[in-house]
Amino acid sequence: MFAKEKIDQVLESYDDFRIAAICSHSALQIFNGAKQHGIKTIGICTERFRELYESFPYAKPDEFIMVDDYSRIPVDELVEKQSILIPHGSLVEYTGDSIEELAIPIFGNRGSLVYEKSRTKMFKWMEDSGLRIPRILKPDEIDGPAIVKLPGAKGGRGYLVVNSPEEYYSKFKESDKTMIQEFIVGVRAYAHYFHSFDGNAGYKTSYGKVELMGMDRRMETNADEIARQLSVGANIPISFTVMGNQALVVRESLLPQYMEMGRGVCDSSKELFGGIHGPFCIETIITEDLDIYAFEISARIVAGTNILETPYSLFTHGKDYTTGMRIAEELKDAFNRKKLAEITY
Ligand code: AMP
């Protein structure tokens, strides 16, 4: 992991800052949010996507740095331009393990991304946060529907559901590094949070406050419209490839649990890797008994926030407030108070 002290030295050399992001995932929202707070932006872009990002006047970056592919982040040029890189799903995916070594200030804590990337670490993190989680099974323990996740699978692609040890062994080899989870039956809800070192909204944590910004339900093909396939006689196995997101609100009586879960994740993060700053998401399934199971944490902005947030951000910040705006506000505030080092690594 690149040394925090070196990132702090880079930050000390900044007399202003810009927000930079890879042109993908939630970049339009991030640039739009920065613009609304008067912060200049840099889009790291490939030729293929430039026209798209040029085509939204209120969300296009002020400047492009063109690259051949997103696995190579032009760190020297970005640092020269006093940039802070905003991590999103595509940055995590394209840079892989090398994200830990990037010699540029990243908003939040890159330590949290290490926990996001490893399923074993993630389950430890969720357990330490006091979340209710699905049972993790060995192949011989499969006693009902179980979802089998392959290493590194992103966006649900390639997951399989099996119902018995025999079915598992017919599809996977002993050497496959899969994680088998009990399949939780219920409705999914992806809760978007923002942890602020100095916010005035939300629940108190051991080092700040955690706000609820919104919720969504991922739309997954073909799981989400499987009734259509079945009704026309197409008996195709369920799959979970994310294709988009829909806004969601939950019963108000469930909100205290969601707030407690958000606080739990922040407090355990402090113990495990020094804390989480900025946006994160807890991916949950609510059962018919209204038990909330968490099956994943995303330790950065999630694409579900691209929907203009649900009423929760309105109740916290007023009309039309996005996570992109919240990121810009937090960075601006920290910069003005010379506290950028507290919320970037
Ligand atoms: P993930 O890659 O963990 O975000 O999972 C992708 C999708 O698989 C989720 O959005 C859910 O639809 C589904 N899924 C993951 N874990 C479970 C689980 N334990 N029970 C039921 N569905 C799950």
251/331 same-domain check: yes
CATH code, domain with 150: 3.30.1490
The reply to whether 243 and 152 lie within a common domain is no
Check which CATH number belongs to the domain holding 275 and give it.
3.30.470.20
The pLDDT value recorded for residue 98 is 93
Q: What is the arithmetic mean of pLDDT over 139-163?
A: 89
State how far the Cα of 123 lies from the Cα of 116, in Å rounded to an integer: 9
Quick: pLDDT tens for 320-335. Answer: 999 999 999 999 999 9
280/330 Cα distance (integer angstroms): 14
Domain limit, last residue, from 149, 182, 215: 182
Q: Which of 122, 240, 241, 291 to probe ligand 1 with, by most ligand atoms within 8 A of CB?
A: 240
pLDDT tens per residue across span 231-286: 999 988 899 999 999 999 999 999 999 999 999 999 999 999 999 999 999 999 99
Q: Quick one: 150 exposed, middle or buried, by C-beta within 10 A (0-12, 13-18, 19+)?
A: middle
What pLDDT sits at residue 154? 67
Instruction: Find tokens 């080899």 and name the residue.
Output: 173
Q: Which long-range contacts (CB under 8 A, 24 or more apart) does 204-211 make?
A: 204/263, 205/263, 205/266, 205/267, 205/270, 206/266, 206/267, 206/270, 207/266, 207/270, 207/275, 208/266, 210/259, 210/262, 210/263, 210/265, 210/266, 211/316, 211/326
Return the best residue to mutate from 154, 188, 218, 295 for the ligand 1 pocket (most ligand atoms within 8 A of CB).
Answer: 295
**C-beta neighbour count of 225 within 10 angstroms:** 11
- Residue having the nearest C-alpha atom to atom 11 of ligand 1: 240
pLDDT for 155 beyond 80: no
For the CA of 159, the nearest atom of ligand 1: 8
Q: Which pLDDT score is estimated for 196?
A: 98
Same domain, 93 and 45: yes
Same domain assignment for residues 164 and 210: no
Q: In this structure, are 85 and 209 located in the same domain?
A: yes
Q: Domain span at residue 177?
A: 136-182
pLDDT value at residue 153:
62
Number of domains in the chain: 2
pLDDT (mean) for 99-127: 94
Of 153, 182, 211, which residue sits at a domain end?
A: 182
Could you tell me if 81 and 213 lie in one domain? yes
Whether residue 31 is found in the same domain as residue 107:
yes
215-232: pLDDT as tens digits = 999 999 999 999 999 999
Quote the pLDDT of residue 157: 83
Together in a domain, 229 and 110: yes
Question: What is residue 308's predicted lDDT score, i.e. its pLDDT?
Answer: 86
Same domain membership, residue 284 and residue 158? no
